Structure 1
Amino acid sequence: MTVPTGLGEPRGPGFIAPETDPWARLEGLAGPVPQPAGRWRHRLLATAGVVLLSVTSGGLAGGAVAGFGPGPVRPTAGAPSPSPSTGAGVPADLVAAAAQALPGVVSVQVSRGSMVSGGSGFAIDDQHHIITNDHILDGDSPPGTPLNGHQISVVAPDGRRIVAEVVGRDPGSDIAVLRVPASAGLRPLVLAEPGSTQVGEAVLAVGSPLGLSGTVTAGIVSALDRQVRLGNGGRQTAVQTDASINPGNSGGPLVNADGEVIGVNTAIATLEGAGSIGIGFAIPIQRAEQTADAIIRRGG
């Protein structure tokens, strides 16, 4: 896998789409990130496990679509007009969605000795709870390993580093809940209503890919109820998106054009010898919320 120098390699929870089970192979990759002398060495943990697919079959499928797909779609009377755009050609509703989401999104950093792993998270209530992915907290340890000797902190949107408490973890669903002091000043994100997410709607992935905090990438909902294997549990349904998701996006929100969270970004698909191919997966927010609520009830 080609990886930009100094940015580390993807690593994270494995997933296997049922259609590719006979040929899929899981890999968990991690690499040290060089740092200037006198500073700690950092390691960026990835958003996702890797599933290796057949490039040939993918090419054939693309050819079939290109050769036999429907012709151009013509507008019909009464069709809704497109959303107004900004001067840069970006739909204004996505700009507003980014402005609404960013104040509640944090970078999550886990320090253990000289090693630091990272991901993303977001505030969900006025009790200062933060949802993130459980695999971020494991670092190089096996899933579910006690966090003895780990220091968990978040970096707020204004750049402040704040020590966070681990309220609880659920490795099976790959959800964990943190809590920070009220002084963090995070704005809780609004969660989308059940059943409101639609295939084709515009979405933003918000988080800290490759350690670049406050990053927003745009795409659409590619599919719903996609069966994948996430965390250390069995298959689960996930929201599929083509919004760019990279190492460090794990635990960050996937939001719709209204700035409402529809999922927790968790995994990406790659082809052998290539990086992200524009297929990412997010845990549906209703399931993430239910898991987080159960964790909070148990842990406070």
Structure 2
Amino acid sequence: MGPYGGGPAGPPPPPPFPNRGRAWNLRQKLLAGGAALALALAAGGVGAAVSTALTSNDTVASGPTAVSGAASKGGTAAQVAKAVQPSVVSIQARTGAGGSGGSGVVLRSDGVIMTNAHVVAGAEQVAVKFADGRTAQARVLGADTKSDIALIKAENVSGLKPAALGNSDALAVGDEVLAVGSPLGLDGSVTSGIVSALGREIKEGDSGGGGGQDLPPGLGQLSRQESTVIKNAIQTDAAINPGNSGGALVNSAGQVIGINTAIATSGSNSGNIGVGFSIPMNEAKKVATQILANGTT
């Protein structure tokens, strides 16, 4: 019995991060501004992090203080990246039909990690890889498909560096941000950009079984799941690609202010075109608190 309830540890973890298959590009309809673009869930790689804490009552809390090493507000990209990368994790999920990958943000030193619900949807086994190369089996604590937020718990780990969560309500268009993750399996990648817009509404999922698209094995179930509508999404031009799902959008103080979730695509281009979306951290914290309290939302 684990510290959060649940049953035995289960079967041994899958082999750590086997060669990933094709980067999947499940496309959805973009509702923001009426743009006629497709939306791709940015799954398949490693996530991001910066420093966060949970209170003794298992609520998600954070302060506005800058992360040590990221300088005060306005740290350089190199300072911010160095501060957040120890909290970056890579997630590999296995289903009965195949597998997928994504990213995660360390919330607690004992292994509680935030990611996207679509990264671990239907997972029978979950493995996590940390920045120092360690791997661990993990279990899903709970997920909310409506907000696309999930929490997982890496087993038998301690001393992890949690991330500091920033106030997403304080963002302004033009603020500098970094996206940290493992696009296309390239662990620990950092891209830079600005907040392009705030308050976007995007729709993920409900693609009618894939619409004839060439999806990797194991993603058919995901493509048919209930639609997720994310309101007040953060739009950024920091490069987000398949592999960034569940990773962090980070401000210049080294705080996570969004969880990367989707990218807009155009035509046959399924990669970054400079239009990515993140779930605001203030919304993600509310969902995480509910999951910790109830196991789901």
TM-score, normalising length: structure 1: 0.68
Offset of residue 9 of structure 1: 3.8
2:152 aligned residue: 178
- Describe the shift of the 1:210–1:237 C-alpha distance in structure 2 as closer, same or farther (beyond 3 A): same
1:207 aligned residue: 181
Inter-partner Cα distance in structure 2 for 1:184 and 1:206:
22
Offset of residue 101 of structure 1: 0.9
1:9, 1:46 within 8 Å by CA — same for their partners in 2?
no
Offset of residue 214 of structure 1: 1.0
Trace 1:74-223 onto structure 2 (pairs within 5 A).
93-112=76-95, 115-138=98-121, 145=122, 147=123, 150-181=124-155, 183-223=157-197
1:19 to 33, 53, 70: 33
Offset of residue 235 of structure 1: 4.7
- Extract unaligned runs of 5+ from structure 1: 1-5, 30-43, 48-90, 139-144
1:283 to 263, 279, 282: 279
Task: Give the structure, 1 or 2, with the largest relative contact order (CA under 8 Å, sep 6 or more).
Answer: 2
Inter-partner Cα distance in structure 1 for 2:283 and 2:232:
10
- Describe the shift of the 1:15–1:265 C-alpha distance in structure 2 as closer, same or farther (beyond 3 A): farther
- Describe the shift of the 1:26–1:228 C-alpha distance in structure 2 as closer, same or farther (beyond 3 A): closer
2:291 aligned residue: 295
- The alignment of Structure 1 onto Structure 2 pairs a total of residues equal to 228
Inter-partner Cα distance in structure 1 for 2:39 and 2:176:
30
- Extract unaligned runs of 5+ from structure 2: 1-19, 47-73, 206-226
Write out per-residue CA displacement over residues 73-115 of structure 1, whole angstroms, 9 at most, x where no aligned residue: xxxxxxxxxxxxxxxxxx9621111111111110000123583
1:112, 1:151 within 8 Å by CA — same for their partners in 2?
yes
- Describe the shift of the 1:133–1:265 C-alpha distance in structure 2 as closer, same or farther (beyond 3 A): same
2:262 aligned residue: 267
2:141, 2:291 within 8 Å by CA — same for their partners in 1?
yes
Offset of residue 125 of structure 1: 2.8
Q: Secondary structure at the match of 2:157?
A: helix
Q: Which has the larger radius of gyration?
A: 1
1:251 aligned residue: 246
Q: Percent identity?
A: 41
Higher percent of residues as helix: 1
Q: Secondary structure at the match of 2:120?
A: helix
Q: Secondary structure at the match of 1:239?
A: strand
Inter-partner Cα distance in structure 2 for 1:13 and 1:284:
21
Inter-partner Cα distance in structure 2 for 1:193 and 1:116:
33
Q: Secondary structure at the match of 1:292?
A: helix
Q: Secondary structure at the match of 1:179?
A: strand
TM-score, normalising length: structure 2: 0.69
Inter-partner Cα distance in structure 2 for 1:205 and 1:27:
16
Q: Secondary structure at the match of 1:100?
A: helix
Inter-partner Cα distance in structure 1 for 2:175 and 2:183:
23
Trace 1:236-247 onto structure 2 (pairs within 5 A).
236-247=231-242
2:39, 2:204 within 8 Å by CA — same for their partners in 1?
no
Inter-partner Cα distance in structure 2 for 1:267 and 1:236:
13
Q: Secondary structure at the match of 1:195?
A: helix
Q: Secondary structure at the match of 1:246?
A: coil
